[in-house]
Amino acid sequence: MDESEALVGQGAEEEQNKMEEMPVQESMADLLEQEGLGIDFPQTGEMRTGVIASISDSEILVSVGAKSEGVISGREFDQIDAAERAAFKVGAEIPVYILSPEDKNGNLVLSFSRAREEIDWDQAEELLKSGDAFDSTIAGYNKGGLIVGIGQLRGFVPSSQVSLVRRMNSSGDTPDQRWSKMVGEEISVQVIEVDRNRRRLILSERQAINETRESLKDRLLDDLQVGDVRKGRVTSLAEFGAFVNIEGADGLVHLSEVSWERVQHPNEVLKIGQEVKVQVITIDRDQKRIGLSIRRLQEDPWIKKVESLREGQLVEGTVTHLTKFGAFARIGEDDLEGLIHISELSEKRIEHPKEAVAEGDVLALRIIKIDRERHRIGLSLRKVDSAAYADLDWKLLQGEITDEEFDEPDELAEETPSEELPSEAPEPEDEPAEEMVSEEEA
């Protein structure tokens, strides 16, 4: 063998050694990359936008820029809604998810449903970041709450995150009894938790309503006027009053505005979910607070009780208790109570009402003031025999006077101002503020 043949043989042997040192299997992508062809091969879990190449009754071929079209077939084909599948057209772009770059038959396996699901997860994460509420439909329920759709995903609304009004409208001991009637209803929710790996999506109706309520309240405050009458629904009860939702915004009915009758708690006359008619009595646009009243739209029973009473009239009263500023006396058959101010107990100056009367005393008293707006009755013991009322008393006795003629004598114009007459009798140990006593008496 000459020298040239020896060199050729040596080169062939070295090439053979190199070939043996290469991995037994090398991907097509690596080989093409070595050749510099630069084809972008899909990877498992990747999202792509593809172009529909062909459609048949069992599969869809989609071009995603690889060596060959990917295929949506079998279970992935069946998971596409029939109506949506019928709308597909050759040449249309659709999102696809790479399930496998190459199956045992060498096919690129794609999923349209999984791609849509990934897009919905992205949307859910964006909604979580923004805190925006969105409208959807109740798709189902389980023992813990409601199932609400967000695209292809199903979010869970725990019962604690369902609105109070919706929960009040549900009843029953089983989830089916409580929730089944709500399926198909519209609902506004907010995303409060997203865990894509655990496929966990938690929603809240209560937070969505609060978010929406702020914008609704702003709009309502622009249109609302004191004196307006609106219909609303009771959303919650507290010791100090009831919250009523009117047109998506909550207003407060203070305990004193719930009823004309004295109540210790709003739940004595109201319940959550109850529809009520309310009147707007205060508006604080800076603090975004709305004051409401239920009782002002109802007949005032106190006014009815005093219909038969007139200023200047003589009545029989029973002293119920004493305070340092006067004595309270019950008059009539309707448990009405009036105040005999300390200045009206005696012609002479006294330091305490006990110097003139005692609890349980039954006295002839004269009505000197009826304040219908503030529910106050002023009584007098010292004016019972006043000469200023002699003519009035005689006419009343003879039945010679009508309601229209029953005017108070001029002398009453200088009597104790109405603000000194409490509308409700305090407990014996309670004492009113000092300003209830006039400067002259102080």
Q: What's the predicted TM-score (pTM) here? A: 0.47
The Cα–Cα gap between 399 and 384 comes to 19
3-state SS record for 325-389: CEEEEEECCCCEEEEEEHHHCCCCCCCCHHHCCCCCCEEEEEEEEEECCCCEEEEECCCCCCHHH
- The whole-number pLDDT of residue 415 equals 44
- The whole-number pLDDT of residue 400 equals 56
Phi-psi map region of 365: left, alpha, beta (phi>0 left; psi -120 to 50 alpha) = beta
Collapse the DSSP code of 223 into the 3-class scheme (helix H, G, I; strand E, B; otherwise coil) and give the result: helix
- The whole-number pLDDT of residue 441 equals 36
- The whole-number pLDDT of residue 158 equals 94
Instruction: Tell the residue number behind the tokens 């004016």, with chain if given.
Output: 383
CB-based contacts of 148, cutoff 8 Å, min separation 6 = 136, 137, 138, 139, 154, 155, 156, 157, 187, 189, 203
Residue type, 47: M
Contact 80, 55 (CB under 8 A): no
Which parts of the chain register pLDDT below 50?
4, 6-8, 19, 22-26, 32, 35-37, 403-404, 407-420, 422-442
Which pLDDT tens digit goes with each residue over 264-287? 999 999 998 899 999 999 999 888
- Give the residue from 247, 302, 287, 292 showing the smallest Cα distance to 270: 292
- The whole-number pLDDT of residue 326 equals 94
- Give the residue from 284, 308, 305, 281 showing the smallest Cα distance to 295: 281
Contact 90, 53 (CB under 8 A): yes
Tokens matching residue 339: 């105040």
DSSP label at residue 426: P
Please work out, in degrees rounded to the nearest 5, the angle formed at the alpha carbon of residue 346 by the alpha carbons of 332 and 385.
65
Instruction: Tell the residue number behind the tokens 């990917």, with chain if given.
Output: 70
- The whole-number pLDDT of residue 209 equals 81
The Cα–Cα gap between 306 and 302 comes to 6
Contact 319, 349 (CB under 8 A): no
- Domains by residue range for the chain, with CATH: 26-128 (2.40.50.140), 131-209 (2.40.50.140), 232-297 (2.40.50.140), 305-436 (2.40.50.140)
Instruction: Tell the residue number behind the tokens 């399926």, with chain if given.
Output: 183
Which pLDDT tens digit goes with each residue over 110-158? 989 899 999 999 999 999 999 999 999 999 999 899 999 998 899 999 9
Tokens matching residue 327: 């004595």
Tokens matching residue 315: 């009545």
- The whole-number pLDDT of residue 399 equals 61
Contacts of residues 197-201 at CB distance under 8 Å and 24 or more positions apart, as own/partner, are 201/124, 201/150, 201/153, 201/154, 201/155, 201/156
Q: Strand pairing partners for 386?
A: none
Residue type, 411: E
**What are the Cα distances from residue 425, in Å, to 61, 331, 339?**
87, 13, 8
- The whole-number pLDDT of residue 427 equals 42
Q: Strand pairing partners for 338?
A: 329
Give me the phi and psi of 254, to 5 degrees please: -60, 155
Strand 59-63 to 70-73 pairing: antiparallel
Length of the chain as a residue count: 442
